[in-house]
């Protein structure tokens, strides 16, 4: 019984840390002028920054609310994966250093941990 409990704890720790990071980036994209400048540097239009922020917040809600259907959670994980890979590609394509793309890479590790634990727990529905 120890392993399933560890999986639940691992899931919630990684998911909450991932959700906090995504929520912070959404807030920063909406409120901080430096982030708006960074989006312009990457070649994105201003409306995309705002749209992406609200979608991130919706995705965080989907991941954190337990009664959301698994299929919707799967789509949220997919959307976050696309967002993180796109952030890496955008930063690398303009020649940004690790200080710019490192956050996306680190957040990607949290995403991977959360998704790994979530999939394991899905295989054992009695644990959820």
Q: Consecutive sets of 10 residues in the chain, 128 residues long: mean pLDDT of each?
A: 79 98 98 96 96 98 97 98 98 96 97 97 73
**pLDDT at 4 (0 to 100):** 83
Where does 65-126 have alpha helices with state H?
A: 70-93, 98-123
Are 94 and 46 within 8 A, CB to CB?
no
**pLDDT at 126 (0 to 100):** 62
Q: How far apart are CA 108 and CA 86, in angstroms?
A: 11
> Is the full-model pTM beyond 0.85?
yes
**pLDDT at 47 (0 to 100):** 96
12: left (phi over 0), alpha (psi -120 to 50) or beta: alpha
**pLDDT at 113 (0 to 100):** 98
**pLDDT at 124 (0 to 100):** 82
Are 121 and 11 within 8 A, CB to CB?
yes
């Amino acid at each position: 019984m120890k392993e399933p409990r560890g999986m639940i704890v691992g899931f919630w720790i990684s998911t909450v840390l991932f959700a906090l990071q995504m929520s912070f980036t959404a807030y920063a994209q909406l409120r901080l002028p430096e982030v708006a400048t960074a989006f312009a540097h990457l070649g994105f239009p201003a409306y995309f920054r705002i749209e992406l922020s609200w979608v991130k917040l919706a995705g965080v809600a989907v991941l954190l609310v337990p009664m959301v259907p698994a299929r919707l959670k799967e789509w949220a994980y997919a959307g976050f994966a696309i967002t993180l890979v796109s952030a890496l590609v955008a930063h690398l394509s303009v020649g940004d250093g690790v200080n710019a793309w490192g956050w996306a890479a680190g957040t990607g590790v949290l995403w991977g941990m959360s998704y790994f634990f979530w999939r394991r727990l899905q295989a054992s529905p009695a644990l959820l």
